[in-house]
């Protein structure tokens, strides 16, 4: 039996909305004021029904800017360790997008709000990447955004939005196996995404957790934990730890595969920023073409390499 091609009219009928509304949503148009909830329902229904857009018609009907936005949400009083990680990730995104023929505009903010994406929308962006955000700001940030938004370094409850994030549960399991120790300490950046922090720190005693903001804090913490084993999230934090305790006592989750600044003998798990960027840009292309993979969820968990 030949499968009938799903049309915008089919989606409109399923949702009891006009074909025009469906068209505006699927073409990421700002011409009409359509509620955030309706836009989400249209996109979700299109995905579930297996809608495939007419790309040639879309390209003729719209003027492409080939401009992609990257918002780095570092938070207030961000440490240099966190800035290193996020700036490098943004650079990798830029490089991957450049290979696809896109230009980029980068915005750095301490407290992301709707205005950040409103500014972006005025520049006729085709998609936006957001690095780190807490769930409580999601609605405020996305309610007036009509292009695909992809989130990195954060875990969200809203399944509609794609998230590219390390598989932190697997990271912790492998660190325990690597070190042959169950009761680890952890040193990590002050992430804004509360769910990511929760996964990383669950089952770890509060006195064994350091949310790092300075080198002095790391030195004092490791002095107190010099006879314990632990995991350190981020290469620059790992390099700092190497100064204060025996590097056989910890494993580092690093974002660099080559030209690592860690000592050759330091144990490491690797999820590169380059890999994150490659996956994120691939997801962007799927979203822009509505070429969804029904077998995969929207939270893309990246596995660490040993």
pLDDT tens for residues 258-289?
777 899 999 999 999 999 999 999 999 887 77
Task: State whether 205 and 136 are in the same domain.
Answer: no
172 with 103, same domain: the answer is no
Q: Is residue 1 part of a domain?
A: no
| Structural domain for 172, as ranges | 168-272
Listed ranges 14-23, 62-71, 230-239, 280-289; the one with the highest mean pLDDT: 230-239
Q: Is residue 39 part of a domain?
A: yes
Q: Is 106 helix (H, G, I), strand (E, B) or coil?
A: strand
Q: Output the pTM of the full model.
A: 0.79
Residues 47 and 89 in one domain: no
Q: Which residue has the higher pLDDT, 47 or 113?
A: 47
Burial status of residue 294 (CB atoms within 10 A of its CB: 0-12, 13-18, 19 or more): exposed
Q: 3 lies in a domain?
A: no
Choose among 194, 164, 199: nearest CA to 299.
Answer: 164
The answer to whether position 204 is within a domain reads yes
- Give the pLDDT score at 45: 82
Q: Please indicate, yes or no, whether residues 157 and 72 belong to a single structural domain of this protein.
A: yes
Contacts of 113 (CB under 8 A, 6+ apart): 137, 140, 141
- 82, 189 in Cβ contact below 8 A? yes
**How many domains does the chain divide into?**
3
């Amino acid at each position: 039996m030949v499968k009938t091609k799903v049309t915008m009219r089919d989606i409109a009928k399923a949702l009891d909305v006009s074909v025009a509304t469906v068209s505006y949503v699927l073409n990421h148009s700002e011409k009409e004021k359509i509620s955030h909830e309706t836009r989400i329902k249209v996109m979700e229904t299109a995905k579930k029904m297996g809608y495939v857009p007419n790309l040639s018609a879309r390209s003729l009907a719209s003027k492409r800017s080939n401009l992609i936005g990257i918002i780095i949400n570092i938070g207030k009083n961000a440490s240099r360790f966190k800035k290193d990680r996020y700036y490098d990730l943004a650079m990798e995104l830029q490089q991957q997008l450049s290979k696809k023929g896109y230009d980029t505009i980068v915005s750095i903010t301490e407290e992301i709000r709707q205005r950040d994406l409103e500014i972006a929308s005025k520049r006729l962006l085709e998609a936006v990447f957001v690095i780190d955000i807490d769930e409580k700001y999601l609605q405020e940030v996305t309610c007036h955004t009509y292009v695909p938004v992809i989130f990195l370094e954060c875990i969200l409850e809203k399944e509609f939005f794609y998230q590219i994030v390390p598989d932190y549960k697997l990271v912790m399991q492998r660190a325990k196996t690597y070190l042959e120790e169950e009761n680890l300490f952890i040193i990590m950046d002050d992430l804004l995404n509360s769910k990511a922090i929760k996964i990383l720190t669950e089952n770890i005693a509060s006195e064994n957790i350091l949310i790092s903001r300075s080198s002095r804090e790391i030195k004092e913490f490791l002095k107190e934990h010099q006879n314990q084993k632990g995991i350190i999230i981020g290469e620059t934090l790992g390099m700092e730890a190497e100064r204060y305790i025996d590097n056989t006592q910890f494993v580092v989750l690093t974002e660099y595969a080559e030209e690592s600044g860690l000592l050759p003998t330091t144990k490491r798990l690797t999820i590169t920023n380059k890999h994150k960027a490659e996956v994120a840009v691939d997801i962007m292309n799927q979203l822009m073409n509505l070429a969804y993979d029904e077998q995969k969820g929207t939270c893309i968990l990246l596995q660490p390499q040993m």
